[in-house]
């Protein structure tokens, strides 16, 4: 339920409405927009039918939110949200965000080289997995804390922020220590305990869409994090399973304008996992920016042939540099910048 406050509602009036909602056992969230202040109400709303809030000073109208996700919805917040990751790195504003780097952190020297290279090409966030969700238990599982240390060193040397995957809530404190953004991978999009755990922090969270999940389920997972008290959610479309097997997944480009019509949360597109083929990544990157994405996550590797994971979808550093130039032009048409 959304309570729209009158334009001139005083602080006292707002506090009174907030208290009243809490007394009814519901959770109020005050959202201060440019034009209006509204209060989102989470919980069993039926009590409000017995105790109507319309008529209380300061309240203009009370509207039900019909969607199952509330805090993630545009009804709750009509202006696009931005997530501050570090000084000067804000996701969701006019400036596009580009996260780039290897699928897995493999070794120190390689990571530092790739960090310098993607930074030079214009990326502002370094990606790299230290805990890897692999289909096979025999595949490389990641360097763990050692990998996190290399990521932190790369941040120190380049000024890039760090995004890395958290797979297990037991590693939350460890990963929090090193990462600027916690990545929740596609395979964990509906791991509700993990979502609750990151929801209790205030770290930015990059939530990847599950490969077999609908947009509604995706936004419900974002809702878990928001409802836990963490507003810093960044969505990531990374391709879904379809009958097409030429590509690894199918980039759901529909999801970009669709999610923008439903939610205020920033949205990044990952063309690398979506296609599984490096040759398709430039075109999909251009398409994502043209469709209105707030940025990209792209896998880059100096020697894809020998990559520990996802080599076939990783761009060589110079090809990544070329993609950056191309999306700069698309960004301009879209009124965005890199
Ligand atoms: C990754 O980013 O390396 C990754 C494993 O992505 P996803 O969870 O989208 O498969
Ligand atoms: Mn990968």
CA torsion angle 198 200 203 207 (round to 10): 30
Q: Indicate which residue's Cα is closest to atom 9 of ligand 1.
A: 186
Q: Which two tokens stand for residue 278?
A: 């490096």
Between CA 309 and CA 326 the distance in angstroms is 26
Q: Average pLDDT for residues 244-251, to the nearest whole number?
A: 98
pLDDT of residue 233: 98
pLDDT of residue 64: 82
From the list 337, 326, 314, 329, the residue with the least C-alpha distance to 100 is 314
**pTM score, whole prediction:** 0.92
Q: Average pLDDT for residues 116-126, to the nearest whole number?
A: 98
Q: Which two tokens stand for residue 238?
A: 């990374």
The structural domains of the chain, with segments of one domain joined by +, span 2-63, 83-333
Between CA 188 and CA 267 the distance in angstroms is 18
CB atoms within 10 A of CB 22: 12
Q: Which two tokens stand for residue 63?
A: 């509207």
Does position 146 have pLDDT exceeding 80, yes or no?
Answer: yes
Distance 99 CA to ligand 2 centre (A): 13
Which helix (H) or strand (E) covers residue 305, if one does?
none
Q: What are the pLDDT digits (tens) for 198-213?
A: 999 999 999 999 999 9
How high is the mean pLDDT of the chain? 95
Q: Indicate which residue's Cα is closest to atom 10 of ligand 1.
A: 186
Between CA 296 and CA 98 the distance in angstroms is 5
In this structure, what are the phi and psi dihedrals at residue 24, rounded to the nearest 5 degrees?
A: -80, 5
pLDDT of residue 50: 67
Q: What CATH number matches the domain at 83-333, 3.20.20.70, 2.40.30.10, 3.30.300.350, 3.30.70.141?
A: 3.20.20.70
Would you place residue 42 in the very low, low, confident or very high pLDDT band (cuts 50, 70, 90)? confident
CATH code, 2-63: 3.30.70.1140
Query: Are 192 and 224 contacting, i.e. CB atoms less than 8 angstroms apart?
Result: yes
**Closest approach atom of ligand 1 to CA 129:** 3
CA torsion angle 307 310 163 151 (round to 10): -10
From the list 236, 202, 244, the residue with the least C-alpha distance to 219 is 236
Q: Average pLDDT for residues 17-45, to the nearest whole number?
A: 87
Q: Is 142 in the pocket of ligand 1 (CB under 6 A)?
A: no
Q: Is 301 in the pocket of ligand 1 (CB under 6 A)?
A: no
What string of DSSP letters covers 171-240?
GHHHHHHH-SEEEEPGGGTT-HHHHHHHHTS-S-EEEEPPTT--HHHHHHHHHHHHHTT---EEEEE--B
Q: Is 273 in the pocket of ligand 1 (CB under 6 A)?
A: yes
Measured between alpha carbons, how far is residue 191 from residues 184, 186, 224, 328, 335 in Å? Answer: 9, 10, 10, 36, 37
Q: Indicate which residue's Cα is closest to atom 1 of ligand 1.
A: 103
- Region of 104 (left: φ > 0; alpha: ψ -120 to 50; beta: rest) is beta
Which ligand lies nearest the alpha carbon of 308? 2
Contacts of 179 (CB under 8 A, 6+ apart): 148, 151, 162, 163, 164, 166, 203
Q: Which two tokens stand for residue 72?
A: 């993630």
Query: Are 148 and 108 contacting, i.e. CB atoms less than 8 angstroms apart?
Result: no
> Counting beta carbons within 10 angstroms of the beta carbon of residue 38, is it exposed (0 to 12), middle (13 to 18) or buried (19 or more)?
buried
Distance 104 CA to ligand 1 centre (A): 10
Q: Average pLDDT for residues 261-265, to the nearest whole number?
A: 98
Would you place residue 310 in the very low, low, confident or very high pLDDT band (cuts 50, 70, 90)? very high
Query: Are 55 and 13 contacting, i.e. CB atoms less than 8 angstroms apart?
Result: no
Chain centre distance of CA 56: 37
Does position 32 have pLDDT exceeding 90, yes or no?
Answer: no
pLDDT of residue 185: 98
pLDDT of residue 188: 98
Q: Average pLDDT for residues 126-155, to the nearest whole number?
A: 97
Distance 173 CA to ligand 2 centre (A): 23
Between 29 and 222, name the one with better pLDDT. Answer: 222
Q: Indicate which residue's Cα is closest to atom 6 of ligand 1.
A: 185
Query: Are 296 and 270 contacting, i.e. CB atoms less than 8 angstroms apart?
Result: yes
**Closest approach atom of ligand 1 to CA 186:** 8
Q: Average pLDDT for residues 192-197, to the nearest whole number?
A: 98
Q: Is 133 in the pocket of ligand 1 (CB under 6 A)?
A: yes
CA angle 182, 218, 222 (to 5 degrees): 50
Q: Indicate which residue's Cα is closest to atom 4 of ligand 1.
A: 185
Q: Average pLDDT for residues 215-222, to the nearest whole number?
A: 98
Sign of CA dihedral 99, 115, 330, 283: negative
Q: Which two tokens stand for residue 335?
A: 């009124």
Q: What are the pLDDT digits (tens) for 43-88?
A: 877 777 667 788 889 999 888 888 899 999 999 999 999 999 999 9
pLDDT of residue 43: 80
Does position 282 have pLDDT exceeding 90, yes or no?
Answer: yes
DSSP 81: P
Task: Note the residue count of the chain.
Answer: 338
Distance 134 CA to ligand 2 centre (A): 9
């Amino acid at each position: 339920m959304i309570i729209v406050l009158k334009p001139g509602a005083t602080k006292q009036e707002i506090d009174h409405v907030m208290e009243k909602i809490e007394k009814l056992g519901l959770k109020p969230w005050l959202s201060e927009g440019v034009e209006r202040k509204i209060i989102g109400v989470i919980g069993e709303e039926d009590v409000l039918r017995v105790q109507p809030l319309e008529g209380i000073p300061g309240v203009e109208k009370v509207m039900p939110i019909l969607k199952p996700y509330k805090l993630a919805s545009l009804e709750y917040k009509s202006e696009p949200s931005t997530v501050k990751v570090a000084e000067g790195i804000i996701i969701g504003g006019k400036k596009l965000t580009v996260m780039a780097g290897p699928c897995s952190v493999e070794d120190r020297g390689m990571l530092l080289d790739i960090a310098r290279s993607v930074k030079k090409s214009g990326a502002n966030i370094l990606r790299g997995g230290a805990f890897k969700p692999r289909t096979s238990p025999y595949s490389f599982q990641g360097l763990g804390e050692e990998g996190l240390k290399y990521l932190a060193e790369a941040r120190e040397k380049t000024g890039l922020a760090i995004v890395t995957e958290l797979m297990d809530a037991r590693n939350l404190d460890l990963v929090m220590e090193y990462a600027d953004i916690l990545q929740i991978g596609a395979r964990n999009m509906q791991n509700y305990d993990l979502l609750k755990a990151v929801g209790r922090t205030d770290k930015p969270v990059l939530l990847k869409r599950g490969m077999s999940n609908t947009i509604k389920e995706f936004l419900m997972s974002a809702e878990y994090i928001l409802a836990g008290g963490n507003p810093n959610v960044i969505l990531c479309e990374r391709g879904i399973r379809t009958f097409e097997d030429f590509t690894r997944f199918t980039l759901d480009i529909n999801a970009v304008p669709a999610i923008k019509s439903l939610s205020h949360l920033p949205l990044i597109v990952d063309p690398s996992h979506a296609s599984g083929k490096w040759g398709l990544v430039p075109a999909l990157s251009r398409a994502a920016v043209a469709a209105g994405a707030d940025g990209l996550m792209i896998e880059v590797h100096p020697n894809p042939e020998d990559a520990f994971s996802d080599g076939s979808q990783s761009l060589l550093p110079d090809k990544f540099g070329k993609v950056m130039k191309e999306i700069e032009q698309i960004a301009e048409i879209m009124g965005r910048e890199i």
